[in-house]
Structure 1
Amino acid sequence: MSRRTEDDEEINEYHSEERKQFQEQLQELEKEMNAYKQQRDRANEEIRKAQIEIEKLEEQEKNCTKRLQELDEQIQ
């Protein structure tokens, strides 16, 4: 085997190992990103539920204010 072929094989082996490491890093980052997406989705769902609750409370407040005004008018 010529020296050039040995050098080429060493270079290919090095690049192969480097690609493998990059692939592993990529997979780890994808797992991390998916975990963050799941956390974001759960947080968004909690926000949506809170917004619905806020709307209900605002509606109740509006109804109470209306009833108070009606009672106030009856008293006067």
Structure 2
Amino acid sequence: MGRQRGRPHGPGPAGGPPDRVPQPRPPRPRLTGSWPEARRLLEDAELYWLATVRADGRPHVTPLIGVSPRTPMAR
């Protein structure tokens, strides 16, 4: 029987070690920007980050070069 990857399973809260106490979540940040500002930031970006999860549950992040129909390269 091989070693299994993933989250630890134990008698503690949420399957974690017994000496660890769950901490309250921090408050969610308030969004103060506007949709036009968000659109401008996305249009001006040259690089985007694509985040996925592998089949074994590990996260995977990779950069993507962004090209939109409005950029000179796409015309």
TM-score w.r.t. length of structure 1: 0.18
Question: Which structure carries more helix by proportion?
Answer: 1
Q: Whose strand proportion is higher, 1 or 2?
A: 2
| TM-score scaled by length of structure 2 | 0.19
- Structure showing greater radius of gyration is 1
